[in-house]
Amino acid sequence: MTSEGPLKNKNRHRAVFWLGIGISAFFLFLVFRSIDGAKLMTALRTMDSRFLVPAVAATLFSYYLRAYRWKLLLLEDKQTSMANLFSATSIGYMANNLLPARVGELVRVYVLGEKEGIDKGTVFASLVLDRLFDGFSVLFILLATLFTLHLPGDDAEIRSALVTGGYVTVVAYLAIIIFLVLLKKKTVITLRFAAMLLKPFPPRLAEKVIPLLGSFIKGIRLTSQPKILAGLVASSVAIWAFALWPIDLALQSFGIELPLTASLFIMVLLVIAVLVPASPGYIGTYHYACFKALTAFGISGEQAVSVALVIHALNFFPITLVGLYYLARGRMSLSGLRKDNGSLTTPQPPPESGGGAR
pLDDT of residue 11: 74
pLDDT of residue 105: 87
- Residue 97 confidence class, pLDDT cut points 50, 70, 90: very high
**Contact (Cβ atoms closer than 8 angstroms) between residue 180 and residue 195:** no
Q: Which tens digit of pLDDT belongs to each residue from 195-247?
A: 777 777 667 656 666 776 666 676 677 777 889 999 999 999 999 999 999 99
| Mean predicted confidence (pLDDT) in 76-97 | 95
User: Which of 358, 286, 356 is closest to 96 using CA atoms?
Assistant: 286
**Contact (Cβ atoms closer than 8 angstroms) between residue 183 and residue 167:** no
Following CA atoms 76, 232, 97, 123 in sequence, which dihedral angle do they give, to the nearest 10 degrees? Answer: 10
3-state secondary structure 199-252: CCCCHHHHHHHHHHHHHHHHHCCCCCCHHHHHHHHHHHHHHHHHHHHHHHHHHH
pLDDT of residue 302: 96
What proportion of the chain, given as a percentage, has pLDDT over 70? Answer: 79
Q: Rounded mean pLDDT of the chain?
A: 83
pLDDT of residue 32: 96
**Largest CA-CA distance found in the chain, in angstroms, rounded:** 64
Residue 189's SS3 state is helix
Which is it for the CA torsion 63, 68, 72, 77, positive or negative?
positive
pLDDT of residue 5: 53
List, as one string, the DSSP characters of 128-156: HHHHHHHHHHHHHHHHHHHHH---TT--H
Q: Which tens digit of pLDDT belongs to each residue from 105-115?
A: 889 999 999 99
- Residue 356 confidence class, pLDDT cut points 50, 70, 90: very low
pLDDT of residue 120: 83
